[in-house]
DNA sequence: CAGTGGTCTAGACCACACT
DNA sequence: GTGTGGTCTAGACCACTGC
C-alpha cells in the first residue's frame, strides 16, 4: 500500500479546520499554514490547490484565501427546454453578436469554424449568427458561452437585450422553436482566456458542454459551446 | 495584462511537439524536457500536470509519460434508459453486492447512508441493496459506481453476473421497470481511493454523476453515485 | 509601503518498474 | 542497479491589493 503523501494529510487538516466556516471567511495565509504545520510553503500550496480545484476555497491574488461559496445547480428541463435554476437566477451578459461564414479557409480559428459547420450540418460558406455571452449568477461569472445559429437574425442584439433569454427571443421574436437537444458533457481546464473572462485561476477544472438543438424535423438550429466553472456549477439532466 | 507564465509556454510547446503523435507513444522524460527547454523540472512538471488533467498525456510511475488515448463517449438515451456507447463497449466488474440499513446511526459513513435514504426517499432503518461496480472499457477502468436499490434482491449477484447490465437484470429478473431518471453532473478530484481503483493520479479531474431513477409513478428505485475519469470520458444527454 | 498569492529554481530523496 | 515519475525543501523574486 502506498503511504499517504504529506500534502494530502495537510489537505485533510485544512479541510477539517474550515468545516464550520462560512462562505467568504478568510483563511490563514500560506506562509502562516506552512509555519503552523511545520512544512514548506510548496507543500501547503499543493494541498490548497486541490481544495481550490474542488471548489472548497478561492484564492485572490494579493488579498488572501477564502472559504468558497456553495455551487449553483443548473436545471436543464426536457419538457420546456427552458433554462432554470434552483434558488438563484442565471443571467447573461452579451459580449458580441455578429455574422460569420463557416467552414471558410480563413486565418486563425478555421478549425473552430469547420466544427461549427459540422455541428449545424451546413456547407462551407454558409452564413451563421454567432452569439457570445457570459452567464452570471448574483453578478458572478459562471460560464462563457458561444452560440451559433444558422442564417441571419436581423436585430438579434437588441431583441436579446430586452428579453434576456436566447430561447425566449428565438421563439417570440423569430418564431424559431427548438424541439430536442443533445448535450455532450466533459471536463476541461481553464486557459488564460477563461481565467480572464471568468475570474478564476488558470488550470481550474471546467465543465465543458457542447449543445446541439434541433427543430421537430431534426434540423439543427443551435450549436453552442459552454465553459462552466467546475467549482461553482452542477448540471442537472432529466430524462 | 498579465504576462504569460513560463510553464504555460512550455505546455504549448510540448503540446505542439505531440500534435501528430499516436496514442501510447512515449514522451521525453521530465528531466530531458527540463534540460532541452532550459528550465527546472518543477516548471516542466507544472506544464505536464495540466496536460494530464486535460487528458492529453498519461504518466506511469517508474515507466515514463505517454500520449493519451482519445476519450470514450457515454450515451445516455432517454427513450430506452439503456446504456450504450459510441464505438466501444462499456462493461462492468461487480465488486460487491450486499444489503445495508440506511440512515442508521452507525459509525463511519453515516453521512453517506443518510444521503442514500434521502435520495431514495426512505425512512431511517430501511433495508437497501448496495451494488458496487467498476465500469470498464477495453479492460481499462473508467469509473467507480455505487448503486442503491430500495428493498432486497435475492440472488442479485448471480443474476448480474450472467446478464451484465443492471437495468436489464432489474427488468428481466425482478420485473422492475425504470421510467425516468435525473442525473446531476459536476466535477471532482480523484482521492487516494479513486486513484487505486481507477489507476489514475490523485488530484486528477473526475466527472461526478449522481443518478436518481424512478418508476412511472415517481417512486425512487435507484440512487447511484458514479465517479468517472474526466480525461477518458464524456457524457451525452439527450432531451 | 507591507503583505498576499503566483512563479521558479536547484537540489534532494522516495516509490516504482524494468532488467 | 538504473531510470522513471512523485514528493518535499528553503529560498528567491514577481504581481497584485490595500493601506
In sequence order, what are the beta bridge partners of B93? B134
Q: Containing domain of residue A109, as a range?
A: 72-237
**Residues B158 and B123 grouped into a single domain:** yes
In sequence order, what are the beta bridge partners of A214? A180, A220
Min Cα separation A37/chain B (Å): 21
- Residue A28 pLDDT more than 60? yes
A105 confidence band (pLDDT: 50, 70, 90): low
Question: How much is the pLDDT for B130?
Answer: 93
* Lowest model confidence (mean pLDDT) among A50-59, A100-109, B19-28, B34-43: A100-109
Which among A98, A101, A106 is positioned nearest to A117, based on CA atoms? A101
B113 confidence band (pLDDT: 50, 70, 90): confident
Question: How much is the pLDDT for B195?
Answer: 85
Residue ending a domain, choose from B40, B67, B94: B67
- Collapsing DSSP to helix, strand or coil, A164 comes out as coil
Which among A12, A27, A105 is positioned nearest to A67, based on CA atoms? A27
Q: What is the DSSP letter of B25?
A: P
**Residues B88 and B63 grouped into a single domain:** no
Counting the structural domains of chain B, the total is 2
- Residue B80 pLDDT more than 50? no
Helix (H) or strand (E) segment spanning residue B115: helix B110-119
Question: How much is the pLDDT for A87?
Answer: 47
Q: Which three cell numbers stand for residue B201?
A: 493520479
**Residues B95 and B39 grouped into a single domain:** no
Question: How much is the pLDDT for B78?
Answer: 38
State the alpha helices, DSSP H only, in A55-150.
Answer: 110-119
**Residues B109 and B45 grouped into a single domain:** no
Min Cα separation A1/chain B (Å): 9
> Average pLDDT over chain B, rounded to whole?
83
Q: Which residues of A touch B78 (CB under 8 A)?
A: 78, 239
**Residues B54 and B93 grouped into a single domain:** no
**Residues B61 and B148 grouped into a single domain:** no
Q: Which nucleotides of D are covered by protein (CB under 7 A)?
A: 3-12, 15-18
- Residue A81 pLDDT more than 60? no
**Residues A46 and A79 grouped into a single domain:** no
Facing residue for A184 by CB, picked from B54, B187, B236: B236
The CB density around residue A150, as the number of other CB atoms within 10 Å, is 21
A149 confidence band (pLDDT: 50, 70, 90): very high
CB contact under 8 A, A187 and B187: yes
How far, in Å, CA of A147 to CA of A222, rounded? 7
Q: What is the CATH number of the domain that holds B54?
A: 1.10.10.10
> DSSP E strands: which ranges in chain B?
57-60, 64-67, 72-76, 83-85, 91-101, 127-137, 140-150, 180-189, 205-214, 220-229, 233-238
At B149, give phi and psi (nearest 5°). -120, 130
In a domain, B1, yes or no: no
How far, in Å, CA of B187 to CA of A54, rounded? 8
A65 confidence band (pLDDT: 50, 70, 90): very high
**Residues B29 and B109 grouped into a single domain:** no
Of A204 and B224, the structure prediction assigns the larger pLDDT to B224
**Residues A181 and A116 grouped into a single domain:** yes
Q: What is the CATH number of the domain that holds A206?
A: 3.40.1410.10
Facing residue for A187 by CB, picked from B4, B203, B205: B205
> Average pLDDT over chain A, rounded to whole?
83
Question: How much is the pLDDT for B159?
Answer: 87
Query: Do A197 and A223 touch, CB atoms closer than 8 A?
Result: no
In a domain, B144, yes or no: yes
Query: Do A79 and A66 touch, CB atoms closer than 8 A?
Result: no
In a domain, A138, yes or no: yes
Could you give the strand order of the β-sheet that contains B205-214, starting from the edge strand earlier in sequence?
A83-85, A72-76, A233-238, B180-189, B205-214, B220-229, B140-150, B127-137, B91-101
Amino acid at each position: 500500500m502506498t503511504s499517504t503523501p504529506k500534502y494530502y494529510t495537510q489537505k485533510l487538516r485544512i479541510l477539517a479546520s474550515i468545516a464550520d466556516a462560512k462562505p467568504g471567511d478568510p483563511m490563514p495565509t500560506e506562509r502562516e499554514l506552512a509555519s503552523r504545520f511545520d512544512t514548506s510553503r510548496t507543500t501547503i500550496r499543493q494541498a490548497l490547490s486541490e481544495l481550490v480545484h474542488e471548489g472548497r476555497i478561492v484564492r485572490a491574488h494579493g488579498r488572501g484565501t477564502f472559504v468558497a461559496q456553495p455551487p449553483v445547480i443548473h436545471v436543464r428541463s426536457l419538457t420546456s427546454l427552458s433554462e432554470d435554476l434552483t434558488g438563484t437566477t442565471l443571467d447573461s451578459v452579451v459580449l458580441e453578436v455578429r455574422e460569420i461564414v463557416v467552414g471558410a479557409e480563413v486565418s486563425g480559428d478555421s478549425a473552430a469554424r469547420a466544427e461549427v459547420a459540422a455541428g449545424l450540418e451546413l456547407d462551407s460558406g454558409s452564413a451563421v449568427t454567432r452569439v457570445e455571452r457570459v452567464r452570471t449568477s448574483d453578478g458572478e461569472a459562471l460560464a462563457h458561452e458561444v452560440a451559433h445559429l444558422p442564417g441571419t437574425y436581423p436585430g438579434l442584439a437588441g431583441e436579446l437585450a430586452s428579453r434576456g433569454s436566447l430561447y425566449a427571443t428565438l421563439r417570440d421574436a423569430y418564431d424559431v422553436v427548438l424541439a430536442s437537444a443533445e448535450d455532450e458533457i466533459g471536463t476541461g481546464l481553464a486557459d488564460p482566456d477563461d481565467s480572464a473572462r471568468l475570474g478564476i485561476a488558470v488550470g481550474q477544472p471546467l465543465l465543458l458542454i457542447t449543445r446541439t438543438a434541433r427543430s421537430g424535423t431534426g434540423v439543427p438550429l443551435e450549436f453552442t459551446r459552454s465553459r462552466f466553472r467546475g467549482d461553482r456549477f452542477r448540471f442537472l439532466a432529466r430524462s
